[in-house]
Structure 1
Amino acid sequence: MEKTTQIYGIRAIIEAINANEALDKIFVQKGLKGDLFRELENLARKKGISISYVPVEKLNRLTKNNHQGVVANISPITFHNFEELVESVIQKKEAPLFLLLDQLSDVRNFGAIIRTAECTGVDGIIIQKKGAAPVTADTIKTSAGAAFKVPIAKVNHIKDAVHYLQASGVKIIAASEKTENTIYDVSFKEASAIIMGSEDVGISPSILKAADHTAKLPLLGEIESLNVSVACGVFLYEAVRQRLA
């Protein structure tokens, strides 16, 4: 069952943060000032909640209620603790498969990826607390409900998750066109984590450098790239193909 996915008003959002509600993102009217707002801003930063500063017209579109210059999205799912998720999966499976999303921003792409991840047996999806697409009603709808089935964890930095997974014996494979290797040159049979980058700039250079392997999709047409959710599906199904062989 989906929870209410939106709250508004500075004090209401402060109370929600203090009550440890899973807030995905806070939208704040540009130029907003005052002690109460500063309290909200400090709390959000302390908890690692993403803040987006937007024109008042954006807030008016988000809600017809008296928003006082602030609207927040509440996640309709419960996020998992990253380290606990990794440890529990590794204990149960010899060759787990994780998916890391570096700054993916489109909620529908996110939903489509979650759906494919569930169909391909992904053991956990890891996203960054700041800058990542939130889990909204659109995400849930596009995922066909898979968002309730695949564990999703948030981390402060994807790079830290990469190092933790490597220390846990998980090989990191980054999807990037900046390599000579195709997905058919890389083994996905061992414990693996695939990293997909954002729609516009791909994977961050520092994260790309930290990966164990990079791999690309062979593109035979004139268009230089695939939609990220489609590309992710091809990567995941190559992992399935290798593991079933």
Structure 2
Amino acid sequence: MITETTTIFGIRSIIEAIESGSTINKIYLQKGLRGNLYYELEKIIRSKKIATSTVPVEKLNRLSKNNNHQGAVAQISPIDFYDLEQLIESTLENEKIPIFLLLDQLSDVRNFGAIIRTAECTGVNGIIIQKNGSAPVNAETIKTSAGAAFKVPICKVDHIKDALFLLQASNIKTVAATEKTEDSIFDINFNQPIAIIMGSEDRGVNPSILKMVDYKAKLPLLGEIASLNVSVACGAFLYEAVRQRI
């Protein structure tokens, strides 16, 4: 089992890693970086739509352990990501009642790992995340998932909306977890092909996504605190689907 995300540094090394087909989690670039090789890397990053962050040189020094990073450090994902269209097609062929999970820009790796673990335990057929703005699959994610990240297919899409279009075109109903509804989780029929959408820790599901989904549902909260941790809420949704299906 891979327990650490590989970090590579140096512009040429990163270009070669991308061209060899390595799955890049994120590339960190030094502020003010210039030069022909940098522009070549920047062009490839744009064409491959790889997540990037512009950072001070001190952060790059820490990431590369003070090696000669040339102003660029990349983190290679320890897993391979699935093609969503192919995953939907193969799942519909093999599963009577598939269930997918969409994470709308979830940012905390521990929440991500906990959700992956619960997804594996509840028979989720695939997890869908957005390329930019989502928590990476790194060593912490895999550790928190107890290795489930190697067992549940994970897909990356340019935008969650892209995934919704594909799922709905395949007659898979979509339900968003949100407090902005009067409908309870217990009013939703999970005993059908369905995809559950969970929002980010601070903003929840994006309003533009809420306009697209087939259903919206909330969990009953009987105490004074207004919301649950997203991984806990996700577990409640997934186990309600399990309850209905068994």
Aligning the two structures, in what range does the TM-score lie when normalised by the shorter sequence?
A: over 0.9
State whether residues 30 and 57 of structure 2, in contact with CA within 8 Å, keep that contact through their aligned partners in structure 1.
Answer: yes
Count of aligned pairs: 244
State whether residues 5 and 137 of structure 1, in contact with CA within 8 Å, keep that contact through their aligned partners in structure 2.
Answer: no
Aligned to 1:152: 154
TM-score (normalised: structure 1): 0.96
The alignment status of 1:213 with 2:246, answered yes or no, reads no
What are structure 2's unaligned runs of at least 5 residues?
A: none
Aligned to 1:162: 164
Same amino acid, percent of matched pairs: 68
**Runs of 4 or more consecutive aligned structure 1 residues displaced over 4 Å after TM superposition:** none
Question: Residue 234 of structure 1: which of 223, 226, 236 is its match?
Answer: 236
Distance 2:133 2:36 in 1: 26
State whether residues 188 and 217 of structure 2, in contact with CA within 8 Å, keep that contact through their aligned partners in structure 1.
Answer: yes
Aligned to 1:15: 16
Residue 4 of structure 1, CA deviation: 5.5
Residue 36 of structure 1, CA deviation: 1.4
State whether residues 76 and 136 of structure 1, in contact with CA within 8 Å, keep that contact through their aligned partners in structure 2.
Answer: yes
Counterpart of 1:39 in structure 2: which amino acid?
Answer: E
Distance 2:167 2:63 in 1: 38
Counterpart of 1:19 in structure 2: which amino acid?
Answer: S
What are structure 1's unaligned runs of at least 5 residues?
A: none
Question: Residue 104 of structure 1: which of 96, 103, 106 is its match?
Answer: 106
Counterpart of 1:40 in structure 2: which amino acid?
Answer: L
Distance 1:238 1:72 in 2: 39
Distance 2:55 2:110 in 1: 21
Calculate the aligned-residue CA RMSD, in Å. Answer: 1.2
SS at match of 1:210: coil
State whether residues 5 and 138 of structure 2, in contact with CA within 8 Å, keep that contact through their aligned partners in structure 1.
Answer: no
Counterpart of 1:166 in structure 2: which amino acid?
Answer: Q
Residue 147 of structure 1, CA deviation: 0.3
Residue 58 of structure 1, CA deviation: 2.0
SS at match of 1:223: coil
State whether residues 27 and 71 of structure 1, in contact with CA within 8 Å, keep that contact through their aligned partners in structure 2.
Answer: yes
Aligned to 2:52: 51
Distance 2:237 2:33 in 1: 44
